[in-house]
Copies of this chain bind each other. A is one copy, B any other.
Amino acid sequence: MPTLYNRIANQNLDRLSALSDGVFAFAMTLLVLDLRLPEPGMVHSEHDLWRALGALAPSLVIYLMGFLTLGIFWNGQQTQLNYIERGDRDLAWIHLAFLFTITLMPFSTRLLAEFVHYRAAVLVYWANILAPGALLYTSWKYVSGKEMIRKETPLEIQAAICRRVFTAQCLYAVGAALCVFGSLWSVAFIFALQLNYAIAPRLPGRRKIASAV
């Protein structure tokens, strides 16, 4: 029997959403904070400055990748919460754990930007995709078991949400496994996968791939 306190805590999902939006907004903005300005002492002409800015391009691509990851998880969490009727204490803690993995994202993104040629960095990054995915899956299983999903939600949507997380995580695992051939293969695969999730449905030619995932 749960304590009285635990039964009354966190029945309202609004503040959980607000906290999550704050964490995501902050993590997204932090990503780019690490783009360092060119050293003023090294810049003596327009050409120097363009070259220094060009040297930032690889980091920028990694940050874009981190932003995509955050965007995908923000979308995923939001879609779930929209279908949940009410919260409880355990659900709040599942989502706090989810948010903890999100706060680690700026770290693992910077790690990847700095050590992109190392498998260790790729695997840490992948672990940071796996963990929030697993927690979103846990969250959905939890609310399914406790009948906390909105009554009007069709059954096929309930299945779709689980399937979505599961398929995506399998593909990310494939991406991570590619690092036996070289870390850049992993990065390229994961990046392509994320771009597909983000923009594919808008490109007619790619619709079939998107609908398969």
Interface of A is mostly: helix
**Whole-angstrom distance between the Cβ of A40 and the nearest chain B Cβ:** 6
**Whole-angstrom distance between the Cβ of A25 and the nearest chain B Cβ:** 3
Contact with B along A25-47 (1 / 0, CB 8 A): 11111111101011010010010
Cβ of A50: which chain B residues have Cβ within 8 Å of it?
120
Interface size band for A? 35 or more
Number of copies: 4
Beta-carbon contact of A28 and B99 below 8 Å: yes
Question: In the complex the two chains form, what is the Cα distance from A202 to B3 in whole Å?
Answer: 12
Beta-carbon contact of A96 and B82 below 8 Å: no
Besides the known contacts A10-B78, A53-B124, 14 further A-B residue pairs in the complex with CB atoms under 8 A apart: A2-B210, A3-B201, A3-B211, A8-B160, A10-B75, A12-B82, A20-B25, A23-B28, A23-B29, A29-B103, A31-B103, A43-B118, A46-B119, A46-B120
